[in-house]
A and B are shown apart, each in its own frame.
Chain A
C-alpha cells in the first residue's frame, strides 16, 4: 500500500446542491451523551434526498449510531434541527416515528418468541392489525427467507438468520425512510446478496434508505451515495463515483504469473510517463501521469515481450483506499 502515500491530501467533497424537498434534513446538529464531556456529533448538516440509498460510513466511534439515534428521536440533539419529510419530532411525535423504520445495531428480537411472533409483536406495536398485519408478517418472513423456520424460537436461529429477521422487523410498518445500522454484520455472502437485492427493490419502490456499514465493498455495491463521518463530523458526502474519481489517483495495478513479475517491472520502468513501479509479487503497481492514456502502450509493450497480465486495474482499487485517504484510518480492523 506504499502507493497510497502519493494520493492527494484528504479534503472534504463539496456537498451536493441543496435539495428542495429532502427525505431527511439535518442542520447543524450537535449531540452529547449524558455525563459525556464532549459532543459525539459536532455540527453535522446532511440532506438525504427522497429515494436515496445512502451509505453512512465512518470508523468505530465516528458517531454513526449517535447520528441515527438522534434521527430516530431516541436521543435529544444538544443543538440543531432534524426534519423528516418536513416534519420535526416535536411537532407530531407519533407521526414522525411512523416515517422512520430503525434496524438497531444490536439485535432487537425476543429470543423466546418465534420469528412469526416477533413480527406480529412489533407489527402490532407499530399499530398494525387484521389483514394488513397478516400481509406484512408474510412479507417479513419472505424478506428474511424464514418462512420454513417461522414457528421456531428465534433463540434457535443462527446469527445470520437473526440479523435477517432483525431487518425484516424494521420493514413491517412499511415506513418511507429506513435507517439500518450495520444490518448485515455476520451475514454470509449469499444472504447478504439477497438482502441487497431486496433493499435495492425497496429503494426502487421509493424508499429512502440510510445504511451504515463497515464493509466498504458492500456500500460500494449497494449505495449510490455516501456520507463519511469521522470524529463526530461529516467529512465527505456525495455520489460514490465522484468520491472514487477524486481519489482514483494515477495508479495502475497489474497481476502476473509470479515468474514474469520482475521482467515486466524491468520493461515498465523504461517506459515514458511511468513515474514509479513497485512490486508486491504477483502484483505490480505503477504510477503514471495519466493511466488511461498510458495503458494501451503498456499492454502493447508487455505483449511484445510475451508477458500477459492476468488482470489489470486502473484507479484507486476501491472505496477502502479512498476512505483511508480521507480519514487516515482503516474502516475495519481486519481487511
Chain B
C-alpha cells in the first residue's frame, strides 16, 4: 500500500518532468520523426540502384588462357573497374579470387581457366563479394554476363560472315569458342537488402531511444544539484522505487516514438513520394525487439547518469557516446556501404543489435526465432547496465 503510493509518486513526477522538458521531447520524438522522413527520401535512390562508383573487378587468367577478347569486353563496361593479372594455375587463381572478394579487395573476380580441348570451351568462374548488397551483386553479375555475351556475339558474327552466301569465299578463321561463365556458389544467395525506409526508420528510432541518455542523466543530475536528493534520502522511500519511477516514463515515450516512426514510414512516406515501409509479419517479434532495445537504452542512460557529475558532462558524454555507438552500429551510415572490417566491428554496438533485429523482421521476414539472438544481446546489455546503475544509485541514497 505504502510502496504503491510511493511508486505512484515517483512515476508521476518523472512523467510530468519529462513531458515538460521541451528539449527532451524535441530530441526523443521530433528528431526521429523528422530524420526518418528526410533520410528515407534522401537515400531512396541509393538504396534502389546501389551504383555509388564502378565496381572493382579483378581478372585472373591461368597461363595460356588467352584472355584478350574477354578482357577487352569487360573493359568496355563503364561500371566495372578492371585490373588483370596473369599467373599461376587455375586452382591457385581460384583460391586467390575467393580471398580477394571475401576480404573486400575486389567486388568481383573472374578466373578464366585454360581450354583443355579445342571442342570444349574454357570455363570462367565469377566470384562475388558476399558482403555486397543484393542489387549490386546482381548488377555486377549481369555486367560480367553482358561482357561474355558480347564475346559470344562477336564469334557468332564471325561465323556468319564466313558462311554468308554473298561472302567472298573463305573469310578469316572463325573466332575461338568463348569461355562459359559460371557464377561461384554464394554469388547470388545472401540476405536481401533493406529498402531506404527499412534502414532509416529503425535506425533513427533507435538513435532517438538511446538519446534519452541525455535528458535522463540531466534529470538525475538536476535532482542531485538541487536539494531534492537530500529530501529524497531523508524520506523512507527505497531506491528501487525511485529507479522504477525513472524507467517507466522513458519506456513509454520510447515506445510511443517507435510506433510514430513506424507509422510515419508506412503511411506518410508514400504520400511524399517515398517507398512505404514494410514491417514484416511478426508483431510479437517486433514488440520483443522494441522492448529489448528500449530497456538497453534506458539501462545505458541510467548507468551514465550515475557516473556523470554535471549537466555538461551528461550532455556531452551522453551525446558523444551515443553518436559513436550509432556510427559504429550502422545507424548513421548503413552497414552495407561499410567495408567488411567496419561491418565486423559493428557487432559491438547495441544499436547494431537493435537494427539487425528490426531488419530481420522487416527485410527477411523473420519471426521470434530469427530475432532471438539480437534480443538476448540487448536484454543482457540492458540488464547489466541496470544492475550496475541500481547498485550505484542505492549507494548514493543510503547514509554516507
A122 at the interface (CB under 8 A from B): yes
Is A100's CB under 8 angstroms from B234's CB?
yes
Residue of B nearest to A95 (CB): B236
Which chain B residues in 220-259 approach chain A with CB under 8 Å? 226-228, 230-237, 241
Chain B CB within 10 Å — which of A121, A122, A170 has the most? A121
Residues on A with C-beta less than 8 A from B231 are 102, 104, 108, 122, 169-170
Is A120's CB under 8 angstroms from B230's CB?
no
Is A129's CB under 8 angstroms from B227's CB?
no
B56 at the interface (CB under 8 A from A): no
- Size range of the chain B interface in the assembly: 20 to 34
Query: What CA separation (Å) do A129 and B228 show in the bound complex?
Result: 21
Is A110's CB under 8 angstroms from B228's CB?
yes
Is A110's CB under 8 angstroms from B236's CB?
no
B20 at the interface (CB under 8 A from A): yes
Is B227's CB under 8 angstroms from A108's CB?
yes
A174 at the interface (CB under 8 A from B): no
A127 at the interface (CB under 8 A from B): yes
Residues on A with C-beta less than 8 A from B241 are 125
Residue of B nearest to A96 (CB): B236
- Size range of the chain A interface in the assembly: 35 or more
Which chain B residues in 1-55 approach chain A with CB under 8 Å? 1-2, 4-6, 8-10, 12-13, 16-17, 20-21
Residue of B nearest to A105 (CB): B227
Is A106's CB under 8 angstroms from B234's CB?
no
Pick from A95, A102, A129: contact of B234, CB under 8 Å: A102
Query: What CA separation (Å) do A165 and B13 show in the bound complex?
Result: 16
Interface flags for A206-250 (1: CB within 8 Å of B; 0: not) read 000000000000000000000000000000000000000000000
Query: What CA separation (Å) do A105 and B13 show in the bound complex?
Result: 22
Is B20's CB under 8 angstroms from A120's CB?
no
Query: What CA separation (Å) do A74 and B2 show in the bound complex?
Result: 22
Residues on B with C-beta less than 8 A from A123 are 9
Given contacts A105-B227, A109-B226, contact A117 B9 (CB under 8 A): no
Is B6's CB under 8 angstroms from A106's CB?
no
Least CB distance from B271 to A in Å reads 36
Contacts across chains A and B counted by CB atoms under 8 Å? 100
Is B235's CB under 8 angstroms from A97's CB?
yes
Which chain B residues in 355-400 approach chain A with CB under 8 Å? 399-400
Is B5's CB under 8 angstroms from A73's CB?
no
Least CB distance from B141 to A in Å reads 59
Is A76's CB under 8 angstroms from B236's CB?
no
Is B228's CB under 8 angstroms from A126's CB?
no
A38 at the interface (CB under 8 A from B): no
Residues on A with C-beta less than 8 A from B10 are 124-125
A83 at the interface (CB under 8 A from B): no
A39 at the interface (CB under 8 A from B): no
A75 at the interface (CB under 8 A from B): yes
Pick from A73, A106, A125, A166: contact of B399, CB under 8 Å: A73
Pick from A76, A93, A124: contact of B9, CB under 8 Å: A124
Residues on B with C-beta less than 8 A from A113 are 13, 16-17, 20
Query: What CA separation (Å) do A124 and B2 show in the bound complex?
Result: 8
Is B400's CB under 8 angstroms from A74's CB?
yes
A293 at the interface (CB under 8 A from B): no
Residues on A with C-beta less than 8 A from B6 are 124-127
Is A117's CB under 8 angstroms from B13's CB?
yes
A332 at the interface (CB under 8 A from B): no
Is A89's CB under 8 angstroms from B13's CB?
no
Query: What CA separation (Å) do A328 and B231 show in the bound complex?
Result: 33
Least CB distance from B4 to A in Å reads 8
Is A124's CB under 8 angstroms from B12's CB?
yes
Query: What CA separation (Å) do A72 and B236 show in the bound complex?
Result: 11
Query: What CA separation (Å) do A125 and B236 show in the bound complex?
Result: 8
Is A107's CB under 8 angstroms from B13's CB?
no
Query: Mind listing 29 A-B residue pairs with CB under 8 Å?
Result: A34-B400, A74-B230, A74-B399, A74-B400, A75-B400, A76-B399, A93-B236, A97-B234, A98-B236, A102-B231, A104-B231, A108-B230, A108-B231, A113-B17, A113-B20, A117-B12, A117-B13, A121-B9, A122-B231, A123-B9, A124-B6, A125-B235, A126-B6, A126-B235, A127-B2, A127-B237, A153-B20, A169-B231, A170-B231
List 8 additional A-B contacts (Cβ < 8 Å) besides A112-B16, A113-B17: A97-B236, A110-B17, A117-B12, A120-B12, A122-B231, A124-B8, A153-B20, A170-B231
Top 4 A-B residue pairs of the complex, sorted by shortest distance between their CB atoms = A124-B9, A106-B227, A108-B227, A108-B231
| Residues in A lying within 8 Å of B, measured CB to CB | 33-34, 72-76, 89, 93-95, 97-98, 100, 102, 104-113, 117, 120-129, 133, 153, 166, 169-170
